[in-house]
Amino acid sequence: MMRRPLLLSLLALLALLPVLNAATGTVSYSIFAKPAAGIDIDAHLAWEEIPFDRAGFYPIQIRITNKSPRDGRWEVNSQSTSGYYQSSTSLRLTETLDVPAGETRTFRLLCPLADDQYNNELHLTFTGTGIDEYVYFSRSARNRHRGSLVHFGGMSEELFLEIGHQLQRKIDSLGEEIQYLSITTSIAPEDWRAYMAFDSLYFSQTEWEGLTPSSRRAVMDYVMAGGQLRVLVGERSMDTALSDIPAGSRTRAVGLGNVILFNGDIHTLEYDMERSVSVPPKRSGSKPTERIAIYDSSFDSFINFRFLPEGAFYRRTNNINEAFSSTDKMSQLLNKATSNKEFFEDSIVIEGVNFILIIISVIAFGVIVGPVNFFILARGRNRWRIFITIPAISLIFCALIVVSIIFSDGFGGNGTVSRLVIIDPVRKTKAYVQDELSVTGILMSGGFDIPDSATIRLLGAKLPESSMDASGHFQQTGDHFSGDYFASRRLQHNRLINVTPSREAIILQGSADAPELVSNLQASCQQIFYIDDQGQFWKAGGLGVGQTAKAMKSSAAEFNQWWRQREYIGGAPWMFSDYRGFAGRTGWFYAMAEPMRDAYPETLDSINWKDHQTIIAGPLVKKESI
């Protein structure tokens, strides 16, 4: 019986041979072909390897040809699993693909990835019309030592062919701290979440302009959410606008991330170790335009990237084993917030096992089911009653245990929500980060829905001291998420990120000496600061929706003090420390807003959520009179 599934698996693996399409440069895999039934399933990859030690998604384009006389339906199950000692992480995605008879359709899948530090693999199984049992497709990452990869970049294919291989070899000789993957621009993903695993993206100007508008928008949304984009341009393009990239200086702030233009080539980078080693320029007379500083120590090596800055996504704490650790920053936040009444009204304290109560309960059960039962309840001729009394006593004790758990922990839980909203009035887009810190009692269900353009990640959790289970299993079916994002009797920190269209803005009008602010936001602002083009700080008090407020002069010291108060929850830094560099930007406003629960709903309904703070920031829109 085992031979047939094994034979089918071997045949499926033989079918998964890569085919290079010379016209488009894409790499295709035949997943399933059954000419007699008129069924053909292919996979097309924008990049071949999956990221190592990175949370995020892997995009796969599935094309299904259904030449049969009846409609076809296929179910795809994606699973990314990692394991370490007694811990494991499993992320699953289930999608249903429908193709009418006689048609060919293309589906874009975003498969969630577990950041396995030893052997990163992604497995997909297909079942459905024409498939006897199942077919199998998998991708893997290049094996590395844990923590060795400090930067992961995606590079457009022509740029990668020109300089990527040589740069990769140069970096590999220094210890494999950086990895680049070639992105096939013809099928570049059109969903910003597909790029989340990359610290930075690199395009030549020609390839950037050649992307579809949807792909360019997806990359810019990735930058809005904290990503980094580098574009190789000519001298004339340094100060001009590119497609979907606003005009500005060489470094252009877009949301939580940056776009940096460079006009040399990566061959001109200088490497500094114990002594300066210059890489020969590609063209005679050209000078280095960027610089990487490399420092070595006797125990470890790390790279300080000015050209390759650290990304803002889930770094270093995205592995479930680290999420349950007591040493990272998120655990500091969790520990401090457990007993902080400012964030949890009527907090549910996570207790360990009460061993004294267990011992007393066991002794009481033994006394009642033994001497009391035999000498009082079922004595003498009534010995037959033990067949009734023992089950009854056991059920009563079980009921008492359940009642004690309910009274001690309660149902549902309490939580606090903090939101960071970045608006871009030029692109008419906003990115928001929603941090949810919650303490749970008994949960009847841990499932919830999020917007279809959003992503959520468990960043930290504190288990009862008696628990040895640091495993996490996460399931996504459409927009519904379930699994260990929330669990009973646990303190957890989840982060939701989304990028959506928006026409919100703060309008600056009036004169330079008497500026006024007009709100076109969805919520009222309790306090607002902004920095003008000369670097002068201004502030205003309450600013309601559609209202106008006069601004008065402030100072950098006052703004910094206000900002530091926003940065901490319960004495520990929160999301702001993950998004460095967006505070204090010239031409930007920063506001403390009223809660916007309708616009940004919480995830799990059974938790009693409390709003901690909502920060809104972004570039000001100027009227001509200013």
Where residue 363 falls (left for φ over 0; alpha for ψ -120 to 50; beta otherwise) is alpha
Q: Distance (Å, rounded) from C-alpha 427 to C-alpha 275?
A: 45
Q: What does pLDDT average to over the chain? A: 74
DSSP H stretches of helix in 283-385: 320-323, 329-337, 355-367
Strands (E), 427-510: 429-440, 448-449, 455-462, 472-477, 480-483, 491-501, 506-510
CA-wise closest residue to 591 among 608, 568, 615: 615
Give the tokens for residue 211: 């992307």
CA-only gyration radius of the chain, Å: 29
Query: Both tokens of residue 362?
Result: 């066991």
Cα separation of 449 and 284, whole Å? 58
Amino acid occupying residue 495: R
264-270, Cβ contacts within 8 angstroms, sequence gap of 24 or more: 264/288, 264/289, 264/290, 265/162, 265/163, 265/232, 266/163, 266/167, 266/290, 267/163, 267/166, 267/167, 269/167, 269/307
Which pair of structure tokens corresponds to residue 293? 């500083």
What residues are paired with 229 via a beta bridge? Answer: 201, 259
Mean predicted confidence (pLDDT) in 464-491: 73
3-144: CATH number = 2.60.40.10
CB-count exposure of residue 190 (10 Å: 0-12, 13-18, 19+): middle
Asked if residue 207 has pLDDT above 70, the reply is yes
Cα→Cα distances 512→54, 382, 505, 542, 624, Å = 47, 98, 19, 21, 11
590: Cβ contacts below 8 Å, ≥ 6 apart:
528, 529, 530, 559, 563, 583, 615, 616, 617
Question: Cα–Cα distance between 242 and 47 in angstroms, integer?
Answer: 25
Mean pLDDT of the 597-624 span: 85
Is a pLDDT exceeding 60 seen at residue 538? yes
Question: Using CA atoms, how far apart are residues 259 and 246, in angstroms rounded to an integer?
Answer: 10
Distance CA 154, CA 162 (A): 14
Confidence band, pLDDT 50/70/90 cuts, at residue 329: very low
> What is the average pLDDT across 273-291?
33
d(CA 177, CA 151): 7
What is residue 370's predicted lDDT score, i.e. its pLDDT?
82
Buried b / exposed e along 342-370 (16+ C-beta atoms within 10 A)? ebbeebbebeeeeeeeeeeeeeeeeebbe
Neighbours of 380 (CB within 10 A): 6
- Model pLDDT for residues 116-144, shown as the tens digit of each residue: 555 567 889 999 998 988 888 888 776 55
Handedness of CA 537, 541, 542, 547 (dihedral sign): negative
pLDDT of residue 305 exceeding 80, the answer is: no
Query: What's the helix, strand, coil split of the chain in %, to 5?
Result: 25, 40, 40
Per the CB < 8 A criterion, the answer to whether 138 and 91 are in contact is: no
- Cβ 468 vs Cβ 418: under 8 Å: no
Query: Alpha carbon of 421 to those of 315, 540, 601: distances in Å?
Result: 20, 19, 13
Task: Scan for tokens 């949301």, then name that residue.
Answer: 255
pLDDT at 578: 64
Task: Categorize the per-residue pLDDT at 622 as very low, low, confident or very high, splitting at 50, 70 and 90.
Answer: confident
The DSSP symbol for 55 reads -
183 vs 59: CA distance, rounded Å:
11
Task: Say what percent of the chain tops pLDDT 70.
Answer: 67
List the domain boundaries for the chain.
Answer: 3-144, 150-315, 365-403, 410-626
Query: Could you give phi then psi for residue 477, rounded to 5 degrees?
Result: -130, 100
Distance CA(477)–CA(496), nearest Å, equals 17
Query: Token digits for 566?
Result: 């926003």
- Residues 6 or more apart whose CB falls under 8 angstroms from that of 92 comprise 77, 78, 79, 80, 112, 473, 474, 475, 476
Do 258 and 245 touch, CB atoms closer than 8 A? no
**pLDDT (tens digit, 9 = 90+) per residue, 229-264?**
988 886 666 667 788 887 777 778 888 888 888 765
Amino acid identity for residue 330 in this structure: M
Predicted pLDDT at 118: 56
DSSP classification of residue 192: G
The distance from CA 20 to its chain's CA centroid, rounded to whole angstroms, is 31
β-pairing, 413-424 with 607-619? parallel
The mean per-residue pLDDT over the stretch 529-541 comes to 90
Say how many residues make up the chain. Answer: 626
- Residue type, position 580, single letter: R
pLDDT average, residue stretch 513-526: 88
Chain segment 340-385, per-residue pLDDT in tens: 444 444 333 444 556 676 777 788 888 888 888 777 887 777 788 8
Q: Choose the weakest-confidence range: 184-193, 285-294, 368-377.
A: 285-294
The answer on pLDDT for 288 being more than 90 is no
DSSP, res 453: T
Please tell me the least confidently modeled range out of 80-84, 92-96, 605-609. Answer: 80-84
- The pLDDT assigned to 159 comes to 84
What is the three-class DSSP state of 331?
A: helix
Q: 10 phi and psi, to 5 degrees?
A: -65, -40
Cα–Cα distance measured from residue 420 to residue 431, given in angstroms and rounded to the nearest whole number: 8
